[in-house]
Amino acid sequence: MMDLVIKDIISETSNIKRFILAHKSGLALPTYQPGAHIVVKLPSGLERQYSLCRLPTSGKEYEIAVLEEPNSRGGSKELHKLTVGTALQAKTPQNHFLLANPKASALLFAAGIGITPIIPMAQMLKKSGTDFQLHYSAKRAQQTAFFEALHSSTYCDKVTFYFSESERINFNRVLSGANRTWDIYVCGPANYIEAALSEARKLGWPEHKLHREFFAGPQSEILNEASRNAFQVKIASTGEVFDVEPGMTITETLEMNGIYIPTSCEEGWCGTCMTPLLEGVADHRDTFLSDSERYEGKIIMPCCSRARSDALVLDL
């Protein structure tokens, strides 16, 4: 864990704040590549993951942008109440959304706060002299984080904005005009990513050219829909069977019955709760597992995922 302090807070929009973080003793911070994130430990002990939203400059600052979620379980609300000078801890940067090759042309797609890991990618591509396009969807100009910064950036000619109140992005139109050798990077809500990638697949993009990162967690409406189903979990080693009621997660259900699976994010992105699955079909709601791991169906993230079958047998 690094000991950080909030050095500055900038209001991007009415519900998005940008936080400049520095080491509390002014030390240099570990560097990172575009697409990286840090896990921030808040004063309450909550841990949340945020993308680093600009390329390293002085080597002594990290910058994150945080949307205050109306349905927040506490993380974004708590962060929005903090003031300059507050001490925080954070884990060193990690990256599951790497810019595969800064010299390879790329299409960047972002929706809402999903712009945060995309900005350093655009900065890096510009710096490398690589051709790229950035397509950024938001509700309206006044609610668009980095609107002014992108307009005045050195790569503003590469940026196209889409405001849902006037014009939504048409992935078919954008992708039809692009070269299939370009890499595609998408960050935003699950349905936005799904729309972009399924259109790219239809148009013949090879899988290895498709890169995506969800918001910190799956969309709340997906979770809500999923949480309406009841199912059973069986513990393989003891044969005990428990009912997972609608609105309860597997980890919550097991914990109530004295079986503790370690968790951290409780949103499906950190990997802490990964559990082997012996039988049953998981309804994967995490953003941690790869497509092939989901397809194999031998692992589940029980902090958020549920069941498509009547029961799941966990290797516990």
Residues with Cβ within 8 Å of 28's Cβ and at least 6 positions away in sequence, in order, are 59, 60
E-strand spans in 84-240? Answer: 87-90, 106-111, 132-138, 159-163, 183-188, 210-214, 231-235
Closest among 305, 308, 226, 230 to 273, alpha carbons compared = 305
Least Cβ distance, residue 288 to ligand FES (angstroms): 5
CA-CA distance, 261 to 301, in Å (whole number)?
Answer: 10
The answer to whether 103 touches 124, Cβ cutoff 8 Å, is: no
Cβ–Cβ under 8 Å, residues 310 and 243: no
What mask, x for binding ligand FES by CB under 6 A, covers residues 256 to 295?
-------xxxx-xxxxxx------------x-x-------
- Residue nearer to ligand FES on the CB measure, 117 or 268: 268
For position 301 contacting ligand FES by CB under 6 A, the verdict is: yes
Smaller CB separation from ligand FES, 141 or 316: 316
Residue 134 or residue 300: which is nearer to ligand FES going by CB? 300
Q: Rounded to whole angstroms, how far apart are CA atoms 72 and 293?
A: 29
Question: How near is the Cβ of 64 to ligand FES at its closest, in Å?
Answer: 19
Using rule CB under 6 A, residue 40 touches ligand FES: no
Count of residues that interact with ligand FES, criterion CB under 6 A: 14
Is residue 297 near ligand FES by the rule CB under 6 A? no
Q: How many CA atoms lie within 13 A of 66 on its CB side?
A: 27
| Contact letters for ligand FES, residues 182-211 (x by CB under 6 A) | ------------------------------
Judged by beta carbon, residue 59 or residue 74, the one nearer ligand FES is 74
Residues within the interface to ligand FES (CB under 6 A) = 263-266, 268-273, 286, 288, 301, 303
